[in-house]
Structure 1
Amino acid sequence: MALNAEKEQYGKNAIDQPYSMEVYKYLRGTPKEHGRVLTPEARDLILRKMSWFLFSKNNQLTDLMFPGEQSESVSCEKVPDDSAELVEYTESHRGLPCGHIFENDEVVYKCVTCSLDNSCVLCSHCFHATDHIGHETACVRNSGTRGFCDCGDLEAWKIPQHCRYHSSIEALDEAGLEPIVSSASPLFVPGYDNSECPVSVKDSIELTLVAVLEFVLEVFAMPTDLSLQLDESSIIDYARSAGLAIGDYEPQTEFALVLWNAEGHSSQDIVNQCTEILQVLEDNYDFSFTGTEHKTIQSINQALQDEGKQRLDWLLIFDQQLWKEVHVSLCELYIATFMRDNQYKMQFALVFARKYPRLAQELLIQDRAIEKSIKLLSLYLFSGQASSISLVRDHGLMYVILDVLKRFFIRSTPMDFQQHKVTTCSSEVFQNQHYPYIFVDIDYLVRMPQVRSWVSTSHDFLSAYMDFLGVLQGMDPYNRTIIRHIESEANRYLDPFNATMNVVNSNKQIAQCYGISARDLFVAIRSTLRELYHSTQLMAEENSMFTIHSAQLYDHLPNNIHDFSKDNTDIVELEFEMHSLSTIWGKEYEVVQYDMAANSVSFNHPLHWFMAELYHHVKQLTDDNLCCFGFAGVRDMVFSAFDTSYEALLKTHNTAGINTDINSKHLSDLHFMSKKEVFEVQRRLLRILDYPIRVCVVMAQLRAGLWMDNGESIQYQACYYRDSRYRKSTYDNDIALIQLFISIWPDTDHILATLLNRYGLYDWFNGRDHTQIYDPLQLGCMILELLNLLIVLVSDRHVATGKSERLGAP
């Protein structure tokens, strides 16, 4: 078997020292020696033997761990002793980081004044041993995620912390502070130099740990894939082959069934279910039943082929199989180790990043106890300045995270839909409670100044990020039902909205990276405009119903579209069209043709919101800066966005090492545009602008009562869209985009004509006969809604002008 050969080769490469092999053989023989039952006596004997190996087979040192007759009381359980002094507050930790690991509900202190970000915390001892008088502080209870004290971590604090427990005596003397000296005295070992550990003991500890880790990993690699239909003979054959792989040639006569607790089920539930099964079998003893398939772990064969052979890699891989006590102990070991050794922390972070796709998959698909997931270690690994920039710049971690998110959100979307950029929101993917933790990792990384600088200068990352946003662009569209009323619907409107809220938070953080440099900002704006136009060309939102009907996968239809489709069996693919509107003074304007009453409209446009977040940093785009880059103003920069000649010239300058700014003399010939070219650019920009305008129209129609037949889902989503908690990232960003286009458009009447047309009021405002879209009451309401929008657009302009919200501010 591939498993046997791979496992045998792995064992030979891993244990090549006689001392380690002796320890390994002892561990392999303990189950048989103690009758495969771990009694308290057997546990104590094993612990004593392993301590004997650790201390180089020295009985004197071993007796320190098992003094006299007290050996029987030694236990793996931690006995709480309030009077005992924790080791992290003793003199042995002087000059070292604290590393105290918080228990569940333990009080944790924060100091906003001193900390680099909100993730930096202190334990009670260290907080009261440092000076925070007059600072902005807070205390909270630990939620049980096994955090640790950041005292002593230089990367965590803006203001140096002089902890009287952990700072060196010299540093405290310079600060004029008295140290808190531990009353606990170090253990004295007769016959040894107590200032250092003997070399023989160091070697034996290393060799013993090698054997222990190999044995642990071997045990975790043993479970078979329970997705197979296994009978008694199959189980015996597998046990025999697994034993041969590790050199155990004796037949296996005893087997055990291990039950795993989950969020919804416990061992008692299994017992109850088995009891019920037995009761049924009593009445049906002459029938045989076959169990259903249930995959609990991934195949070890595939794991051995795909994964590396480093022990830390394997420990991370097998973490999903650990029970709570072992998982918590390992996490404490990881944290305690890299808190005291920055080099090890960097190595651990590299291994963690290498395994990130698999760990994230287990979190999103398999993990049932999020607070105990090994994935939560990313808080400590991604929030360090040195480790974060190395992971992002040298190992592409940001690309990995975006790929994980993209694959997750399209996981349940049929391939036919993916080809047309249609993402289904009715699947269980959007109901998942764990994916926000992946977005949090982006937050951890972009908090670091070096990472923000990398993001702003990496054009490849910008493309990758916009590609991810395109997955959620225009998702969950609505169609207005006219013929009949929707009587029942699934209340899943919050699922796609929750995903959108996580995306807009990332939008804000990523956009802030471009608010530092004017050059990076306008390159990002122009790139986003091109991506937005590419997205509009796909017309995924407009043709979502046609895509679904063409694929004949009606189960993926949201309720609002499913019911609408019953009344519209002749759905055809829409094509982009423009049409002319004439004014009473004889002027004509080309506007986008789109029927709001018959076609799809979505609230979710993360690409547009990202563009608006970038524009929030418009203060960087001063006339002087734009002139240095060869643009006469913001209008010139936006209207020339579809001409990539500037980016090519900028890349040439960067490649040639030219650090000076590109002035208007370099690009004056690039920005001269004919009327035909201006008209084509306006067509593209109007396509981009039409989406936020459509959302404003839907909001107005909801107030006017035009969507009453569509049930409550769209009304609830509209409430969240304009809710005070979220509107700054949604509704306000749509308004800001409309203001941007108004402020740069050569003829603002063109935008006004677009608004009138989309609201269905163009003919009415021109005194002409108009189609009866609205009844008189609805017509009056729509007119008021349009006037209200116009007032907002021309009065609340702090974003579009780059000026403060305060009245009279410069």
Structure 2
Amino acid sequence: MSPNNERMRQNSKIPRSEVSNLKSEENKKKSSKSFRGDFLSISADSETRLDPGPVLPELLDLLLNPNLSIKLWDTIDWLKWLMAAGKTPDEFFNIVRRYDNATTCGLVWTANFVAYRCRTCGISPCMSLCAQCFQEGNHEGHDFNMFRSQAGGACDCGNSAVMKETGFCHRHGSQAQLNKPEVPPDLLAIADAIMPRIFLRFIQHCREHSNDRIGDVLEAMEDSSLFLDLLQELSRLGAAMRTIMTKALTNPMVYRDLTENNSSEYMRQTVDAYNEALNSIPFGEVPPGYEDISTLNGPLVHKTFLDEIVFWTVKFEFPQKLVCLLLNMLPDTEYEDAFARAFVQHYSRISVMLVSSGDSETLSNRVVHVSVQLFSDQLAMTIQSYLRNPDMVGTDPLSGFTEIPCLYSENIDNRHTLRDWCDRLVFNNEPLALDL
């Protein structure tokens, strides 16, 4: 651990005797049950109001204090018990799954996963299906193939933007979830209160390691594996839990309250580390005529937890588990749009990282893993609106620029700027060619 990290930890210490009192499973169940009984109330109009008082925040201060290692299994177990609100975590997870009304599959896989592609059903040539969705869909007599994924991917079953509805399996599509029951208003109320603190603890961990070399970053991400595993497990519970996670990830007020309205010495030091990290990725060269595009040469401004997490994903060269978490959330449409905007906001920095990385092949594959999932025709329009300029600008300082007419709209006099780096390894892995 660097001296800076140790100094931040010392400014957040809590008595270890208090932590030791939290380890009993009986205490976990009793405490979680009391939150449900004492702090949840259902109003007349059936809307849940969570009033945790000081008890839940104080308990979270103990569990998620950055003085404690992020890789403590007991912390993860406590968080599950608290969300379960008197049930066991397994019972709670099974109940939440019953309310999964997601219309798309979204199963995420990494390199070497075997998947299917049906040319008969595909609208996009990049469409992919997991084995279960392919086998449960109607593809008899179709032109399909089985393939081993090179960069990773995600199942498109249920996504009418990339495949025909006739190829959907019975579990996905707009008609498959019509009879799903509504989520009970109190089922996820405690999870809703806890989720922002979970994301705060993760970005605190990232900030502590902002100056680490890439080898130490890999170790830091390994330390956070249990944390990321928890978040992935929650996202796989279905649409109901993903809605709670999206709310925490994309709410600017929640992000501001937890990161800016905290005067502790520890948070002040993490803010300093964060600001230093923001300036650590240099701007790429901007071609003449594009200097006024803020997404290319302006400072990064993060307004949500999702914005900052995407930044650390870029800064740490796309750690695999973090990439999978970000992609696992894509079936939530509100999250999908927010993630696309955040990804494009950081795109010029991504290209700089691709050029400077010591392992461009792995990094480019992981960039492809994300970008090919994001940029459907519909999301391209979201991105165009967000940028207010549909140019995709390369920023390789070692190459020249070539302009071609913009194809997004006949009414917009804009041009794409492409990199001329055909002899480079990054181009051979086609991270840009597969983006749109």
Same fold flag (TM > 0.5): yes
Q: Is the CA contact (8 Å cut-off) linking 2:129 and 2:157 kept in structure 1? A: yes
Are 2:79 and 1:50 equivalent residues in the alignment? yes
Change in 2 beyond 3 A, CA 1:216/1:95: closer
Residues 113 and 136, structure 1, Cα contact 8 Å, conserved in 2: yes
Q: Which residue of 2 aligns with 1:697?
A: none
Matched-pair identity in %:
17
**1:244 match:** 265
The reply to whether residue 109 of structure 1 matches residue 116 of structure 2 is yes
Q: Give TM-score, length-normalised by structure 1.
A: 0.33
Which residue of 290, 313, 325 maps to 1:319?
A: 313
After superposition, the Cα gap between the structure-2 partners of 1:354 and 1:100, relative to the gap in structure 1 and judged at 3 Å, is same
Query: C-alpha displacement at 1:203, in angstroms?
Result: 2.6
Stretches of structure 2 lacking an aligned partner (at least 5 in a row): 9-51, 214-262, 282-298
Larger-Rg structure: 1
Checking the alignment, whether the CA contact within 8 Å between 1:313 and 1:355 is kept in structure 2 is no
Aligned-partner residue type, residue 383 of structure 2: L
> Deviation of residue 205 (structure 1)?
1.0
Q: State yes or no: 1:353 paired with 2:344.
A: yes
Task: Tell me, yes or no, if the aligned pair for 2:116 and 2:146 is still in contact at 8 Å.
Answer: yes
The CA distance in 2 between the partners of 1:103 and 1:302, in whole Å, is 31
Tell me which amino acid in the other structure corresponds to 2:147: V
- Specify the alignment match of 1:98 in structure 2: 105
Local SS of the residue matching 2:109:
coil
Match of 2:413 in 1: 459
Residue identity opposite 1:458 in structure 2: I
The structure with the greater share of residues assigned to strand is 2
Assess if the C-alpha contact under 8 Å between 1:24 and 1:212 holds in 2: no
Which structure has greater helix proportion? 1
- Partners of 2:334 and 2:411 lie apart in 1 by 28
In structure 2, do the counterparts of structure 1 residues 333 and 386 end up closer, same or farther at CA, with 3 Å as the change threshold? same
Change (3 A) 1:202 1:104: same
Residues 314, 349 of structure 2: 8 Å contact kept: no
- Alpha-carbon spacing, 1:495–1:360, altered in 2? closer, same or farther (3 Å): closer
The reply on whether 1:155 has 2:177 as its aligned counterpart is: no
Structure 2 residue corresponding to 1:209, chosen from 180, 184, 195? 195
User: Per-residue displacement from partner, 1:364-414 (whole Å, max 9, x unpaired)?
Assistant: 32373326635631111112x221123125524642x22xx2x31xx247x
Letter in 1 for 2:206: F
Equivalent in the alignment of 1:395: 387
Query: Could you tell me how far apart the structure 1 residues matched to 2:425 and 2:375 are?
Result: 27
Task: Give the 3-state SS of the residue equivalent to 1:246 in structure 2.
Answer: helix
In structure 1, give the amino acid aligned to 2:342. Answer: V
**Cα contact 1:54–1:205 (8 A) shared by 2:** yes
Distance in 2 (alpha carbons) for counterparts of 1:309 and 1:396: 19
For the 8 Å contact 1:353–1:397, the answer to whether it is kept is: no
Distance 2:352 2:152 in 1: 21
Deviation at 1:141, TM superposition (A): 1.0
| Pair 62,30 (structure 1): closer, same or farther in 2 beyond 3 Å | farther
Query: What does residue 336 of structure 1 align with?
Result: 328
> Partner of 1:132: helix, strand, or coil?
coil
Q: CA separation in 2, counterparts of 1:358 and 1:17?
A: 42
Quick one: structure 1 residues 497 and 162, their matched pair in 2 at CA, closer, same or farther if it must change by over 3 Å?
Answer: closer
Pairs within 5 Å for 1:234-313: 244-246=265-267, 299-300=276-277, 302=279, 306-313=300-307
- RMSD of Structure 2 on Structure 1 (CA): 5.0
> In the TM superposition, what is the alpha-carbon distance from 1:153 to its structure 2 partner?
0.4
Describe the shift of the 1:62–1:137 C-alpha distance in structure 2 as closer, same or farther (beyond 3 A).
closer
Instruction: Indicate conservation of the 8 Å contact 2:101/2:177, yes or no.
Output: no
Aligned partner of residue 199 in structure 1, secondary structure: coil
Residue 134 of structure 1: how far off its partner (Å) = 3.2
* Matching residue's letter, 1:153: N
Give the conservation status (yes or no) of the 8 Å contact 1:123–1:149.
Answer: yes
1:132 corresponds to which letter in structure 2? H
Distance 1:18 1:396, change over 3 A: farther
- Asked if the contact 2:120/2:144 (under 8 Å) is kept, the reply is yes
Within the candidate set 138, 147, 153, 2:145 is matched to 138
Corresponding residue of 2:209: 223
Corresponding pairs, count: 312
Give TM-score, length-normalised by structure 2. Answer: 0.57
Answer 1 or 2: higher relative contact order, Cα 8 Å, separation at least 6.
Answer: 2
Question: Once the 2 structures are TM-superposed, how far is the Cα of residue 168 of structure 1 from its aligned partner?
Answer: 7.2
**Which amino acid in the other structure matches residue 152 of structure 1?**
G
Over 3 Å counting, the alpha-carbon distance change for 1:496 and 1:363 in structure 2 is closer
Give me the whole-angstrom Cα distance separating, in 2, the residues matched to 1:159 and 1:29: 48
Q: Is the contact made by 1:220 and 1:321 (CA closer than 8 Å) also made in structure 2?
A: no
Q: Which residue of 1 aligns with 2:62?
A: 26
Q: In the aligned structure 1, how far is the partner of 2:426 from the partner of 2:301?
A: 34
Distance 1:501 1:219 in 2: 31
- Residue 221 of structure 1, CA deviation: 1.0
After superposition, the Cα gap between the structure-2 partners of 1:20 and 1:392, relative to the gap in structure 1 and judged at 3 Å, is farther
Counterpart AA for 1:160: T
Residue 146 of structure 2 aligns to a residue in which SS?
Answer: strand
Q: CA deviation at 1:247?
A: 7.8
Equivalent-residue separation in structure 2 for 1:393 and 1:352 (angstroms):
14
| Alpha-carbon spacing, 1:136–1:60, altered in 2? closer, same or farther (3 Å) | closer
- Check conservation: 1:363, 1:375, Cα contact below 8 A: no
Residue identity opposite 1:98 in structure 2: C
Shift in Å, 1:170: 7.5
Q: From 423, 430, 436, give the equivalent of 1:495.
A: 423
* Secondary structure, counterpart of 2:188 in structure 1: helix
Q: Which amino acid aligns with 1:302?
A: N
Matched, 1:118 2:125: yes
CA contact (8 A) 1:23 1:212 kept: no
Task: Give the AA of the match of 1:347.
Answer: A
1:328-349 residue CA offsets vs partner (Å, 9 max, x unmatched)? 443333333222x223212221
Q: Gaps spanning 5+ residues in structure 1: where?
A: 8-15, 67-85, 173-193, 228-241, 249-296, 414-422, 425-438, 476-493, 511-810
> 1:318, CA displacement in angstroms?
1.0
Q: Deviations over 1:47-74 (max 9, x none)?
A: 221123323xx333447479xxxxxxxx
Q: Does 1:380 align with 2:334?
A: no
Q: Is the 1:103–1:146 Cα contact (8 Å) retained in structure 2? A: yes
Report deviation, 1:113. Answer: 1.9
Q: String of CA shifts for 1:456-493, please: whole Å, max 9, x gaps.
A: 443222xxx4xx47x86xx9xxxxxxxxxxxxxxxxxx
- Structure 1 pair 206/133, CA: closer, same or farther in 2 (3 Å)? same
In 2, Cα distance between equivalents of 1:167 and 1:117: 17
Contact persistence 2:112–2:149 (CA under 8 A)? yes
